[in-house]
Amino acid sequence: MERGLFRSVRARHAGYHLTEGGDNVEVQVVDNQIERAVKTLKKMLRKEGILTQLKEKRFYEKPSVKKRRKRAKAAKRRRRVEIRATQRSR
């Protein structure tokens, strides 16, 4: 899951400027487009999996439950790969 939690990215679009650094995430609002900046921040957090990690670590999870969850996640990932492979071969 650790695929570079905070990669170095600089993206400039109309309405916001996004910078990710070592251990901080920054979205600078440009032209008072706050809604767009918040939307971008949420999208980035979702893409990086930070919100999922926060939800998982909110409460203690027994090791047996953690293993079960990881197995289910791996099975889902395998099924998705198989489906994509069959669709490409058609």
Q: So where are the chain's domains?
A: 1-59, 60-90
- Work out the mean pLDDT of the chain and round it to a whole number: 78
Give 65's Cβ-side CA count (13 Å radius). 5
pLDDT of 27 reads: 81
Percent of the chain with pLDDT over 70: 73
Q: What is the pLDDT of residues 39-69, one digit of tens each?
A: 988 888 888 888 888 888 899 999 999 999 9
Q: Which two tokens stand for residue 75?
A: 């099975």
Q: Which two tokens stand for residue 73?
A: 């996640």
Q: Quick one: 30 exposed, middle or buried, by C-beta within 10 A (0-12, 13-18, 19+)?
A: middle
Question: Which residues touch 48 (CB under 8 Å, ≥6 apart)?
Answer: 5, 6
Cα(54)–Cα(72) distance, integer angstroms = 19
Confidence band for 23, pLDDT divided at 50, 70 and 90: low
pTM here?
0.50
